[in-house]
A and B are shown apart, each in its own frame.
Chain A
Amino acid sequence: MIEVVVVGAGMTKFGENWESSFRQMIADAAIKALVDSGLAGEKIEAIYGGCMASGRFIGQEHIGALIADQLGLNPIPSTRCEAACASGGVALRSGYLAVKSGEHDIVAVGGVEKMTDVSTEDASFALGGAGDQETELFHGATFPSLYALLARRHMIEYGTTEEQMAMVAVKNHKNAANNPNAQFQSEVTLEEVMNSGYVAEPIKVLDCSPVTDGAAAVILCSKEKAEALGMKYIEMAASEQASDTISLAARKSLTELRATMEAARKAYKKAGITQEDVDFAEVHDCFTIAEILAIEDLGFFKKGEGGIATEKGLTALNGKIPINPSGGLKGKGHPVGATGVAQAVEAFNQLMGRAEKRQVKNAEIGLTHNVGGSGATAIVSIFKKAGVKK
């Protein structure tokens, strides 16, 4: 059985990168990952690139070929992966499968989005494509409003409060302030989050992840090859994906994302672990309620107890299970197509013990969780420090 490892990771700073173009950012991130791995570009056999909506953001499609071109890596195959905000996660899983299958020994996985070249209104429209155009966006629904519908049910069924949601933002900003690549380098107070205006009640401005430019990349390799070449690595023990209905109206429940639950169940099984073994997780907190749903759906807390767990500090950097040590989408920023790959970059940095001020102590197993739209796609991947037997 071929085992897959990560041998290098890199990312651009996330933020309003007005000085950088789409192609500059993906090239910068890919080169950083390659340099980190110590490999020369010609060792790369294939590229998988996550990107959600370049057509709407910069008028450019055909991203796969563009990435290979910009890296000087023609003629290797280069494929774009799209699953809305889970595009990066799907690219990561595609690269994993390419190595796992034995077809390739070494592949590059990238993710990129350039979101600030258009107006905020146009960016919202581009992101809206992640939902159901015909039955949601047509009627004036926005992404915050879809997550607001989820939040309302969670509040009614489990008593989750707006303060508990705000505490997710406070925690993730605090972590982001220790991440030099994060968009937000400053903390926010509970009062600031609570006093930020409503976008779609009960979701406020500071409950939302920002509009972000950025790119991230990792280099995946077979374990056998990595050991033969004497490379440092972390193990990629699983990468599982699941789907759900694209519209919220067709869901059985609004207080869980079933795609997350299914992808997690399969990932734990494949990796031979349980949620108890996970030392930290990078989860998809596009809105603060999304983190509360995620930590329940991934099994870290019982359904309905994600809000109270956050309030008790159990998800803080020094808590029972640190969630989003990087700052998450909320604090680090959310360049949609890059997010799923940036989560793997954080997993690599944490498990290599080089996450500096935001280092999770004794981290041996990390999980990444990337969601598309309002939960229609979910990818859960599990990483282990080299040599961890669990």
Chain B
Amino acid sequence: MTVSAPMNWRRIPERYRLKGSYCETCGKAFFPGRVVCPNCRRKGKLKEQDMPRAGKIFSYTKVHVGPTGFSHETPYFIALIELENKAKVLSQIIDSEEEKIQVGAKVELAFRKVGKDDKYGAINYAYKFKVIE
């Protein structure tokens, strides 16, 4: 999908440094950030917060058939990662030995290219994760 420059620009804090939010009322962290805390709603008080840069794999899959824009990268790994503050994030796992990509494996934040909108479109960058020893 081709997206506008403002759409990419708006998402830079989230994609480049995992900016999310946490609720001062219940203490729960959210990634991406939310306008309303789903637990506390109007009693909630959301503050912006960068997410921790480490976590562990909660679930993962090796993708063999990719969508438009990702077909040339297959196979690649997609995982749900539980960050140290319990917020979860879906991301690719890169630069890791395949046998070490397991549920429970410790991972840390990396920063990589995530595709390109189209031939002349913007190159997108965002978070990915890699397994740490």
Question: Could you tell me which A residues sit within 8 Å of B by CB distance?
Answer: 121-122, 124-125, 128, 134-142, 144-145, 148-150, 152-153, 156, 197-203, 247-250, 254
Neighbouring B residues of A138 by C-beta, 8 Å: 114, 124, 126
Complex: A145 Cα to B63 Cα, angstroms: 7
Say whether, besides A153-B59, A156-B103, A247 and B64 are in contact (CB < 8 Å): no
Contact indicator B126/A149 (Cβ below 8 Å): no
Contact indicator B65/A139 (Cβ below 8 Å): no
What 6 A-B pairs are tightest by C-beta distance, nearest first?
A148-B61, A249-B88, A149-B59, A140-B70, A201-B62, A152-B59
Not counting A125-B1, A152-B60, A250-B30, a sample of 6 additional A-B residue pairs whose C-beta atoms are within 8 angstroms of each other reads: A134-B32, A139-B92, A140-B92, A149-B79, A156-B59, A201-B61
Min CB gap A336→B, angstroms? 16
Neighbouring A residues of B1 by C-beta, 8 Å: 125
- By secondary structure, the A interface counts as helix
Neighbouring B residues of A249 by C-beta, 8 Å: 31, 80, 87-90
CB of B6 closer than 8 Å to a CB of A: no
CB of B96 closer than 8 Å to a CB of A: no
- Name the residue on B nearest A204 (C-beta): B64
| Contact pattern, B 51-91, Cβ under 8 Å of A = 1, otherwise 0 | 00000001111111111111101001011100000011111
- Name the residue on B nearest A122 (C-beta): B68
Complex: A250 Cα to B59 Cα, angstroms: 13
Neighbouring B residues of A254 by C-beta, 8 Å: 58-59, 80
Complex: A244 Cα to B108 Cα, angstroms: 29
- Contact residue among B31, B59, B76, B89 (Cβ-Cβ distance under 8 Å from A140): B76
Contact indicator A121/B68 (Cβ below 8 Å): yes
Neighbouring A residues of B70 by C-beta, 8 Å: 140
- Name the residue on A nearest B57 (C-beta): A152
Say whether, besides A124-B67, A140-B76, A152-B103, A198 and B62 are in contact (CB < 8 Å): yes
Complex: A156 Cα to B59 Cα, angstroms: 9
Min CB gap A208→B, angstroms? 10
Contact indicator A125/B114 (Cβ below 8 Å): no
